[in-house]
Amino acid sequence: MFTGLIQALGTIYPLGEDRFELSALGDASQMILPTLAIGDSVAVDGVCLTVEEILPEGFVAAASPETLKRTTLGQRQQAAAYVNLETSLRVGSKLGGHFVTGHVDGIGYLKESLQTSNSWEMRFAAPAGVARYIIPKGSIAVNGVSLTVADCDQAGSWFTVAVIPHSYAETNLAYLQTGGLVNLEADILGKYVEKFLHSPAIAVEEETPATVGLHNITPSFLAEHGYL
């Protein structure tokens, strides 16, 4: 589990088809490297990867065929030059962003980026698998960066976010070109709501206040269960 608050930028080099060498850059790397251990989880552009080998300035991790197909790790030539890095959330740590699982839902791309007086307004396109969870003021992770949706169309096929100067400067959003690919992870809450709304009703032997459907809540039902 992650927060979507990026700790450092890094470089990524392929080691064969499914293994990568990652190096953390700059002073921010000290937020990641000193405590890193084999088996730890690190979000790389929002993709949860497991550390397999520790290097002096980074680590080595592998990605499954499914991960390569679903994320920009398999299409690096069309992604940003650098990757965002975040170690997993520790118990008791501050949650400044939103809950990010590191399980990318799909690949989107940057449609446009406009600098305003106090932020960058960035518009992204989203595939159908992600679009249905996108709502105004909802949360979304773009390359692992926790952002708030400022606006979107009804289908969610495009959305805009306002990126503050700090987030823009400290993440690879600043290196994205128009058409550049990004990993998108929708808010997990929306996925659970969709699951509950579309799951078949569970059969129960006796209706109680916890299991009764809304259409069956009547004055007599409430009286029978001590609510009136």
Which CATH code for domain 106-197?
2.40.30.20
For the chain, the structural domain boundaries read 8-87, 106-197
Question: Residue 187 above 50 pLDDT?
Answer: yes
Residue 204's pLDDT is what? Answer: 47
pTM given for the model: 0.84
Classify residue 211 by its DSSP letter. Answer: T
Residue type, 2: F
Task: Please name which of 66, 65, 61 lies closest in space to residue 51, comparing C-alpha atoms.
Answer: 61
> Is the per-residue pLDDT at 194 higher than 80?
yes
Instruction: Tell me if 5 sits within 8 A of 146, measured CB to CB.
Output: yes
CATH class of domain segment(s) 8-87: mainly beta
Predicted confidence band of residue 28 (pLDDT cuts 50, 70, 90)? confident
pLDDT in tens, 214-228: 566 677 766 777 665
Q: What is the pLDDT of residues 122-181, one digit of tens each?
A: 999 999 999 999 999 999 999 999 999 999 999 999 999 999 999 999 999 999 999 999
Nearest Cα neighbor of 97 from 5, 166, 168 is 5
Looking at residue 17, the DSSP 8-state letter turns out to be S
